[in-house]
Structure 1
Amino acid sequence: MPVSAREWQLAARPHGEPTPEDFRLVEVERPDPADGEVVVRMLVMSVDPYMRGRMRAAKSYAAPWEVGETMQGGAVGRVVASRSADVPEGALVLTDAGWRNVAVLDAQHVRVLPELPGIPPSYHLGVLGMPGLTAWAGLFQVAAFRAGEDVFVSGAAGAVGSLVGQFARLRGAASVVGSAGSPEKVTWLTDELGFTAAFDYHAGPVAQQLAAAAPDGIDVYFDNVGGEHLEAAIGALRVHGRAAICGSISAYNAVSPPPGPRNMSLLVASRLTLRGFLVGDHTDLRPEFLETVSAWLASGELVVRETVREGLDNAVPAFLDLLRGGNTGKMIVTLSDD
Structure 2
Amino acid sequence: MQDLKTRLIERALAEGFSKARVTRPDAIPEAMGRLRAFLDAGMQGEMGWMAERVAWRGDPAALWPEARSVVMLAEVYTPESDPRAATRMAGHGAISVYAQGKDYHDLVKRRLKRVGRWLLDAAKAEGLGEGAEIKVFVDTAPVMEKPLAQAAGLGWQGKHTNLLARDLGNWFFLGAIFTTLDLAPDASEVSHCGNCRACLDACPTGAFPAPYRLDPRRCVSYLTIEHSGPVDPGLRALMGNRIYGCDDCLAACPWNKFAAEAREIGYAARHGAPPLAELAVLDDAGFRARFAGSPIKRIGRGRMVRNVLYAIGNSGDGGLLALARGLCGDADPVVADAARWAVARLAPDAGKANHGIGDA
TM-score greater than 0.5 by the shorter chain: no
TM-score if structure 2 supplies the norm length? 0.20
Q: Which has the higher contact order (CA 8 A, sep 6+)?
A: 2
TM-score if structure 1 supplies the norm length? 0.21
Higher normalized helix content (fraction of residues): 2
In terms of Rg, which structure is larger? 2
Higher normalized strand content (fraction of residues): 1
